[in-house]
Chain A
Amino acid sequence: MKSTRPLMAAIALTAALSAAGILSARAANVIDDWANIQAAPPPTLQPVTVDAKTTALLMLDFLHSNCNSEHGKRCIASLPIAKKLLDEARANHLLVVYSAYGKNTEKDIWDQVAPTGGEPFVVSFLDKFIGTDLNKILKDKGIKTVIVVGSAANGAAFGTASGAAQRGYSVIVPVDGISSDNLFAEQSAVWNMANAPVISSKITLTTVDMMKF
């Protein structure tokens, strides 16, 4: 009598691969699969030691217009964390660069994390390297690593982290310093930073408490 074990194992493996979405047979498109898709496991956070001389802190779009109680609650909640990081960065003489989008100016940045004056400020949507001299600002100061915090996680934070990684910078992202009010958006932005082709090899995920200066 033949054992049914190999068959059962094959069925189990097929089911497991299918659940993980990595079998070649695919539904017509991802919309048809939507309800069956499970989020991937969370990425691992790593302790980080910052080299003050070659690292810049990018404070992205902490503005009244996107970081507010109506559609930026998680951004508001992240302000004390961003401030803690900003204070540590300043105490260690890191280059701090601010950004905004559209017609916002430095005056539209929240007071508790506001620029002190004289810090570089760039204006663009999402990827802050596009249409600005951010790359030159960083290169002129010998920067090799950027710390990215700000809002939205799936907007300026992901766009700029990715833009930096593709330009050869190492990127540190404290996940408690980036936010989107839509949790699915925040989760997937974080996951993609740790898993996307090419850029993930340049990005380290951490938390503000896990960073040492």
Chain B
Amino acid sequence: MKREKLLLAFAMAVTVGIGTSQLHAASIIDEWASVKAAPPPPVKEVTVDPKTTALVMADFVQPICSRYPRCMASLPVAKKVLDAARAAKVLVVYTSIPKVPISAVVADVAPNGDAPFVQSFTDKFLTTDLEKILKDHGITTLLMTGVSSNGAIIETSSEAALRGFNVDVVLDATSAATTYAEQFVAWQLVNGPVIASHITLTTSDKLKF
């Protein structure tokens, strides 16, 4: 008898539990563990038009890059892209965050001459004259490298797309603190509403100058 009551109580608890979960739309936090990554997006060959393309070297500065092992590991790739861009006379633009000057750019990819330089938090168009610099040079496409993927890269790429620029993101020359952040940014760049139609993912060995 006692056992039957217990079973009944258990059955009721389960029923109420199920009912409750159906009534309340579970937030994403409740569903977190069951979320699967979307399939990987395509990586494409890109032929750079030196006249209309600018290479953006985003926040390759000591206080940031040295904090991210994946940024330090990306430096040889970034240097390879930088050297190829310079050889092709592509406009190179450097960025940093407020209070961190251009002299803080890590030596491997340091600027030479008078490369344009803008300082802002993650969206490099915000409170800078980046858009004017690009338009004055006839730039219609940005080649994005730098750190971090889920900060300067996604924000600046999105804002560039909203401003009508095309954006090619060099995946192996961009980095974040974790691969998860790099993963969802790569996906979002070419699947996000509005921006996706302006953005292409590429890698350093798929770039032709």
Contact = CB atoms under 8 A, between A and B. Distances in A.
Interface residues of A, number: 61
A39 B193 contact: no
A37 B123 contact: no
A207 B178 contact: no
Contacts of B41: 31
B143 to A, nearest CB: 15
Contacts of B27: 175-176, 207
Interface in A101-140: 101, 125-127, 130
Interface in B1-60: 25, 27-29, 31-32, 35-38, 40-41, 43
A197 B148 contact: yes
Interface string A15-58: 00000111111101111011011111111010000000000000
Interface centre among A41, A101, A166, A175 (most CB of B within 10 A): A166
Interface in A135-174: 152-156, 159, 162-163, 166-167
Given A29-B203, A125-B194, A162-B123, 6 more contacts: A22-B69, A30-B186, A127-B158, A152-B193, A192-B184, A198-B122
Interface of A: 20-26, 28-31, 33-34, 36-43, 45, 66, 74, 77-78, 81, 101, 125-127, 130, 152-156, 159, 162-163, 166-167, 175-176, 182-192, 195-199, 207
